[in-house]
Structure 1
Amino acid sequence: MKYLCGMILSGLALIGAATMSPAAAETNDPSPQFISGLICDTREQAERFVLVLRDNVEKALVTVNTEAGTPNACMVATYGFVPGQTVSEVERNGAIVNVVEVRVMAVATSGGLQMIEPKVYYSVVPTSDRIA
């Protein structure tokens, strides 16, 4: 479980680096970046995930998905994405977590990576910002 939580947080940090990359913003490079991490159907679900996350990613996913009424509203997946903008900030334990748009263009399946019709999902990015 700690491995999964660490993997998600590492992946989320990579999304953060990608969304803040000046080079990517200047070139408008539509090439997807690949990551294993959280994606949610809505901004509100991603915000809720941050609020209910403790040390147990699976419990947080079950909580959000139960509240949403669908088993895959939020999930951990390996996917190719193009980062979008930050859409909100959530305070968690005195730190700020950004909720960001990710335009998913490919997903990992048992048969390998599969391109999909691009769709906007939401993920979260821990920041180094703290609330005083």
Structure 2
Amino acid sequence: MRDDLDFDEDFSYSDFDDEEDDDLGITFEEDLYLMIREKLRDTVQEFKAQYPMLKKLENAISNFKVNAKNTDDSKFYPLAAKLLSEHIKPLTAESEEIEEIYNNLQTDIARFKNQRAHGHEGEFYLS
């Protein structure tokens, strides 16, 4: 009978899958997309009183819907992020703040292609 816990044997890092969080059943793509949506929501909530044009961005985000049935997560969430980006791009012409948020958003969207890329962290696109 074993009395001691051997960390290297019992908790091998090779058991963890970088692509999917087994505890929550969330893929990298879903997690990234949800993070993008959360950053957008938090940024709008934080700054909309100071920058009234962000109310248009808030409205555009809340009205955004994507329907891609029979698509797995690895394709659906990158597509949803791209469509969300295209959905809010016209607002960039109306406000420098929205343009900055849009540009910062593009940094996170690039992570769908390169998971190890560093996402955007900044003051006008909250992390």
Answer 1 or 2: which has greater helix percent.
Answer: 2
Answer 1 or 2: which has greater strand percent.
Answer: 1
TM-score normalised by structure 2 residue count = 0.30
TM-score normalised by structure 1 residue count = 0.29
Which has the larger Rg? 2
